[in-house]
Amino acid sequence: MARVLITGSSQGIGAECARQLLDLGHEVVLHARDDERARAALEANPGALAVVTGDLASLGQTRAIASAANDHGPYDAIIHNAGLGGGSERVETEDGLSRLFQVNVVAPYLLTALMPVAPRMVYLTSGLEADGAWTPEDLQWTAREWNGHQAYADSKVYDSMLAFEVAERHPDAIVNVVDPGWIRTRMGGPDAWDPVEDGAETQVWLAVSDDAEALRTGRYVKRRQTLTPNPLVEDADARAGLISELERVTGVALS
């Protein structure tokens, strides 16, 4: 039996990951943005061990999430599932950061830096990471006219870069990044191709399976298949630049 933490698990793909893991007999710690969503998360998955609450658009609350999650650890696997879509305009958080960049990139970085690296780490990306660009002088779109689609694609390639960097630094762990596909959730919309069950299955497999393929590390995976990521993901210099900026923004170094 494994113990698994899943961020953003009050609905959508994260909630489905929790359901599948609980059905397999594993222990699950959920995460929700606020108390209302936490209640909904526990109602959807009443067998969960616990739920930690906090908004990933806040550095202070993300630190509190890490502390609360650590109280329920250690974990056999952590699934960094939470994320936002691009949106029609740039929104700034109380920390003075782009909300999209903070939730999609800064939050999984900060949680990774503040928590022990689990034996298995799963990060979520998107097929749009193929369109992601590296603009180190303007990662948060402060100097350019906002393009929600491009900003989202950028954030997803940054997630892939983070996962590959963690895999490089922790060869003793199994660290992978997953494209769940275009899934029929509130974020994906009703026209998406695939059901939520398909969007969660690969993460669950990577988190707990003893299949030989599930035990490989440092990969970009979709539907259990290893794909070739955006070339930026394997660019050590670009990854170092991203980590340096995330260390600056958070004040926390990556182990």
What amino acid positions are annotated as catalytic residues?
Answer: 152, 156
Secondary structure letter of residue 72 according to DSSP: T
Q: In what order do the strands lie in the sheet with 219-222?
A: 50-53, 27-32, 3-6, 77-80, 120-124, 174-178, 219-222, 225-227
Identify whether the C-beta of residue 218 lies closer than 8 Å to the C-beta of residue 168.
yes
- Is the bond preceding 74 in cis, omega lying within 30 degrees of 0? yes
d(CA 219, CA 217): 6
Q: Phi and psi for 123 in degrees, rounded to 5?
A: -115, 145
Identify whether the C-beta of residue 4 lies closer than 8 Å to the C-beta of residue 207.
yes
Secondary structure letter of residue 215 according to DSSP: G
